[in-house]
Amino acid sequence: MRRYLLLAWVILGLLAGVAATLLGHPEAAPWLWSAAALPVAAHVGLGLVRSLMGGRLGVDAVALFAILGAVALEETAAAAVIALMVAGGEALEAWAEGRATRALTDLIARAPRRAARLEDGTVAEIDVAEIRPGDLLLVRAGETVPADGTLEDDGATLDESALTGEPLPNAFHRGDALRSGGVNAGAAFRLRAVRDAGASTYAAIIRLAQDAAASRAPLARLADQWAVGFITFTALLAGGAWLATGDPVRALAVLVVATPCPLILAAPVALVAGIGRAARRGIVIKGGGALERLARIRTVLFDKTGTLTPGRPRLAAIDADPLLGREEALRLAAALAQGSTHPASAALVAAAGRRGLALPVPETVAEVAGGGVSGMVEGRAVMLGAEGFLHAAGIDPSNGFALTAEVVAAAGSIAWLAVDGRVAAAFMLADGVRREAPRAVRRLRALGVRRIVLVTGDRAAAAAPLGRALRLDEVFANQSPADKIARVRSEAAKAPTAMVGDGVNDAPALAAADVGIAMGAAGTAAAAEAGDVVLLVDRVDRTAEAIAIARRSRQVALRAIGLGMGMSGIAMTVAAGGWLTPLAGALVQEVIDVFAILYALTALRPGPDEHAQDGLPAEAGLAERHDEHAGLRQLADELRGIGEAIGATPEVVPELAAVEARLRDELLPHQRAEERALYPAAAERLGGQDPMAPLIRMHAEIEGLAERVGTLLRLAQRDERWTTTAPELRRTIFALEALLRLHLAVEEEMLADLQGPERRGA
């Protein structure tokens, strides 16, 4: 506010002097212009004294000398215009910083101050500081979630756009964990607090935002570093012009156009603009210094679990005793797994749910931590767990499953199922790769990151396939927290290095890196505190976006400085030659200042390195088609199972007919719906010449194979044709399964940028 009042005073004095001249009182004008200029000189002088007391010589000393010199030489109009330039530059800086930090300001402004606590059936209004873990809170429509907690009602809809930058609301279900800071976009719901407000997610984000806004970037300090040299150059040029001509007005004209507002204002405005734009994308950068370091990153180290992988195991494959069958094996295992909290158990229960299996309630469930779980299911003794767990019970898991163990152990883990004392099935579990991870790696390469490395505490057999899939430069497995720190320091000695992680064990490595990037949406508080950059969206591809924003902001800041000071240098030379009067020079410098600051604000716009896509409209059907992919993957499992079951006799014909019906009733309509609405909308967003052509070609091949399966099945239903038809039918089914899996993976990767908010539970 003080900056705007000072600007208003200068404008009033300048206009008063002009009015006095026009009304026939020119003798009053110098007094009015001096009265307008001298308060600004006093303001600049106080700032200069504070700088000197802090051990810095600010470049605003040139502005002070210019104002005082103009008043002394009775160039009071020029003095008033210089004062207008200084006061206007500071006001413009305040406006620009306000616009640049709008996202950070919005975060702080939206912080809840009151909450509704349910006490004995009544609603009590309390300060958020009074919230304690275990409190039952009521969050009404339009209110901000005041603390982290668990949803106690059947459903809730939250607008988390201020946290994540994603425009669409997210739906939550009973028992889901809710983060503070989201806005209730639906009906009122009850929330069971798990933390007090001060320890919740939103409070931590606000602290990060305030730290980011308060810090001074190296580029902003660059003005102070250049101050002595710039002032010396200005003094030599002004003094030389005075000595050469004997005219002090020449020196004054040089001082006027040398006022270094572009150097003082442009750099911090550009960097703060970058911080603000990153915040709108769910990326909190802790200050301009972190942004500057981020812009120079050439090596990125990734943690594995929770960073490049979702951190949640999923069922990848089933190998079961043919007498029991895959579906029955999964049903029994998932039924028993309901009594366990292990992530592998949750993966089996989720897989059974996706297949629509009805799960009985297990009895006498006993769990051994880190081993497995046992109990009774429908009167049968069932055990589920690791190989050692079954060995301890006198059961040899390798009996009939040796090949499976050898082949799959390298890529994931196995949960063994024993029924009535005999091994019955092996469930292959894998963490998988985040859908956006391959794109994140490729985009980092496109941004000039020369080395991308995986550093994980997991075993080498599990880490190596991930490194191959993502085309990483090197993989370091079995790394302890101390090993990770040593690896980060080794890489940082060669090139500016960033470390990306999410867990407590990653926090030391994040702190040791040039830039620590924490997955703050689902990661730990320790990682978020240690990181210089916090990703509020659970998407690893925001790492590349953060680097792109940082690079653009730094480039804009340097260009704004270069353009502004270059034009000032030209104007100084012209003034030294006598072709620019002090008053005209002041007006020219004002134009240069406005140009430099407005150019710095272009950091608010995406640059050519940033390719974020808008989400597709709802009518394109992307969400619906994506939800159908789970059923299609189950269909692929059935294709593999039925292909393996094809033998010398036609007993599998009924199962074949059921699978062929699913191809006609589920797969082909799904593909037609994609080509009718989804693919045209995606092609418009992606651009280029027919970007969806590869997927459409896959559709055609899949349809051809599905039709061939139907034709072969009709032939196979004739007993006399089974022996000649079965081998070709088996080959066709395996080809269809492989192509279907490939198609689903490629399609999801191509359209991931158009997905909008990260789908929960996907």
The whole-angstrom separation of Cα 690 and Cα 682 is 10
pLDDT surpasses 50 at 338? yes
- The per-residue pLDDT for 598 is 84
- The per-residue pLDDT for 525 is 53
Q: Dmax of the chain from CA atoms?
A: 119
Q: Which residue has the higher pLDDT, 659 or 229?
A: 659
pLDDT surpasses 70 at 543? yes
Least reliable range by pLDDT among 58-67, 274-283, 287-296, 590-599? 58-67
The whole-angstrom separation of Cα 73 and Cα 251 is 11
Q: What percent of the chain has pLDDT over 70?
A: 83
What Cα–Cα distance (Å) separates residue 749 from each residue in 434, 626, 755? 10, 11, 10
* 108 contacts 126 by C-beta, under 8 angstroms: no
> What positions carry a catalytic annotation?
303
List all residues 6 or more positions away from 49 whose beta carbon is below 8 Å from its beta carbon.
none
- The per-residue pLDDT for 396 is 79
- The per-residue pLDDT for 163 is 60
* 302 contacts 509 by C-beta, under 8 angstroms: no
pLDDT surpasses 90 at 698? yes
pLDDT digits (tens, 9 = 90+) for 497-533: 999 987 556 777 888 889 989 886 554 455 566 678 8
pLDDT surpasses 70 at 214? no
Domain boundaries, the chain: 2-102+213-272+552-604, 314-430, 618-754
Q: Which residue has the higher pLDDT, 126 or 406?
A: 126
- 539 φ/ψ angles, rounded to the nearest 5 degrees: -140, 120
Q: What is the pTM of this model?
A: 0.68
Q: What is the mean pLDDT of residues 242-254?
A: 87
What Cα–Cα distance (Å) separates residue 297 from each residue in 208, 417, 460, 491, 625? 21, 48, 27, 11, 38
pLDDT surpasses 60 at 96? no
What Cα–Cα distance (Å) separates residue 630 from each residue in 354, 490, 642, 669, 742? 7, 43, 19, 15, 14
pLDDT surpasses 80 at 208? no
Helices marked H in 73-169 = 76-100, 102-109, 161-164
Q: Which residue has the higher pLDDT, 111 or 664?
A: 664
CB atoms within 10 A of CB 658: 11
pLDDT digits (tens, 9 = 90+) for 629-645: 888 988 998 898 888 88
What Cα–Cα distance (Å) separates residue 691 from each residue in 624, 674, 678? 21, 14, 13
**Token pair belonging to 419:** 């029924």
Helices marked H in 144-287 = 161-164, 201-214, 218-245, 248-257, 261, 267-280
List all residues 6 or more positions away from 549 whose beta carbon is below 8 Å from its beta carbon.
274, 277, 278, 281, 283, 610
**Token pair belonging to 255:** 């001082």
What Cα–Cα distance (Å) separates residue 307 from each residue in 176, 440, 468, 492, 541? 21, 11, 16, 20, 10
List all residues 6 or more positions away from 576 whose beta carbon is below 8 Å from its beta carbon.
237, 238, 240, 241, 250, 253, 254
DSSP secondary structure string for all residues of 550-580: HHHHHHHHHHHHHHHHHHHHHHHHHHHTT-S
pLDDT digits (tens, 9 = 90+) for 434-447: 878 888 898 899 89
pLDDT digits (tens, 9 = 90+) for 356-386: 888 999 988 888 766 789 999 999 999 998 7
- The per-residue pLDDT for 592 is 84
pLDDT digits (tens, 9 = 90+) for 560-571: 888 888 888 899
pLDDT digits (tens, 9 = 90+) for 134-154: 899 999 988 888 888 899 998
Q: What is the mean pLDDT of residues 289-294?
A: 87
Q: What is the mean pLDDT of residues 214-234?
A: 63
The whole-angstrom separation of Cα 107 and Cα 162 is 7
Q: Which residue has the tokens 């898991």?
A: 397
pLDDT surpasses 50 at 405? no
Least reliable range by pLDDT among 24-38, 259-273, 686-700? 259-273
314-430 CATH: 3.40.1110.10
* DSSP letter assigned to residue 432: -
The whole-angstrom separation of Cα 25 and Cα 29 is 7
The pLDDT-based confidence of 297 (bands split at 50, 70, 90) is very high
Report the phi/psi class of residue 689: left, alpha or beta, with left for phi > 0 and alpha for psi in -120 to 50: beta
Instruction: Tell me if residue 696 falls in helix, strand or coil.
Output: helix
632-652 core/surface letters (b: 16 or more CB in 10 A; e: else): bebbbbbbbbbbeebeeebeb
- The per-residue pLDDT for 59 is 61
Q: What is the mean pLDDT of residues 592-603?
A: 83
CB atoms within 10 A of CB 699: 21
Helices marked H in 143-200 = 161-164
**Token pair belonging to 659:** 């699978």
Q: What is the mean pLDDT of residues 101-106?
A: 56
The pLDDT-based confidence of 587 (bands split at 50, 70, 90) is confident
The pLDDT-based confidence of 403 (bands split at 50, 70, 90) is very low
pLDDT surpasses 70 at 205? no
Range picked from 284-288, 456-460, 471-475, 583-587 for highest mean pLDDT: 471-475
The pLDDT-based confidence of 762 (bands split at 50, 70, 90) is very low
pLDDT surpasses 90 at 734? yes
The pLDDT-based confidence of 331 (bands split at 50, 70, 90) is very high
The whole-angstrom separation of Cα 266 and Cα 598 is 8
The pLDDT-based confidence of 58 (bands split at 50, 70, 90) is low
Q: What is the mean pLDDT of residues 5-10?
A: 87
Least reliable range by pLDDT among 322-336, 397-411, 579-593, 731-745? 397-411
The pLDDT-based confidence of 100 (bands split at 50, 70, 90) is very low
